[in-house]
Amino acid sequence: MIKNICTTVLVLVLIHTTHEQKGFKPIFDGKTTTGWHNYGKTTVGAAWKVEDGVLHFDPAAAKNGQGGDLVTDLEYTNFHLKLEWKVASKANSGIIFYIKEDPKKYPATYSTGLEMQVLDNEGHSDGKIEKHRAGDLYDLIKCSKESVKPVGEWNTAEVVCKNGKLTLVLNGVFVVETILWDDNFKALLAGSKFATWANFGTFKTGKIALQDHGDNVWYRNIMIKEWNTMETTTKCN
């Protein structure tokens, strides 16, 4: 009887997992950096290493221009991004999206792109700054509830964008929900460090990046589901 119950539970879990992953496509194959490049370049520097299915930024290898933010080759409009990340002690990184890649006009990914913060809250100085902690919409909206795991443990992050509604999810907790590009959002920008940055946070289609902030950070299981083909998987209706 117990064996039958366990088997039934396992089958239900597998069905649920399959349903959850339906429509998602990996944008990191776990073996190469195909589909990615460093911002403003066509190749990937040696600092971004693929190790046992994990994408690792190794600052020790980021010499002679071998670092830089890692950017998708493709642009996205309405999407659901899911990935896992972990950081070393005192490390900082970020998941940046809606990036306009035009390095002559915009020198960095964060010149235009919004960011979900990736951080060691306790060890990095940014952890002492409101709206700069892990899971925050960087410098714009702080988490409604902190759900980040300790340094060295894997966190699951989700960025969901649908027709201007943005939701950030960290370890299953809805930490940020807002509407992009309306008057309230413009007011948030006006009160932030980005107030005078030309066209910051204004693009409705753009690339996605993983940030090189000079620290050890790891990413894995990076997948995306574009809204044209997706079923509702969060509260972003």
Q: Where are the domains of the chain?
A: 25-229
Element of type H or E holding 4? helix 2-21
C-alpha to C-alpha distance for 45 and 4, rounded to whole angstroms = 51
227: pLDDT confidence band, cut at 50, 70 and 90? confident
**Coil/strand/helix, residue 36:** strand
pLDDT at residue 7, rounded to an integer:
47
At 12-34, the pLDDT tens digits run 434 444 445 679 999 999 999 99
Asked which of 17-31, 86-100, 181-195, 203-217 is least confident by mean pLDDT, the reply is: 17-31
pLDDT at residue 5, rounded to an integer:
43
CATH fold of the domain at 25-229: Jelly Rolls (2.60.120)
C-alpha to C-alpha distance for 91 and 87, rounded to whole angstroms = 6
CA distances from 232 to 22, 93, 139, 160, 228 (A): 11, 28, 28, 10, 11
* Average pLDDT of the residues of the chain: 91
At 159-181, the pLDDT tens digits run 999 999 999 999 999 999 999 99
pLDDT (average), residues 35-44? 98
Tell which wins on pLDDT, 2 or 43.
Answer: 43
pLDDT at residue 45, rounded to an integer:
97
pLDDT at residue 165, rounded to an integer:
98
pLDDT at residue 148, rounded to an integer:
98
pLDDT (average), residues 187-192? 98
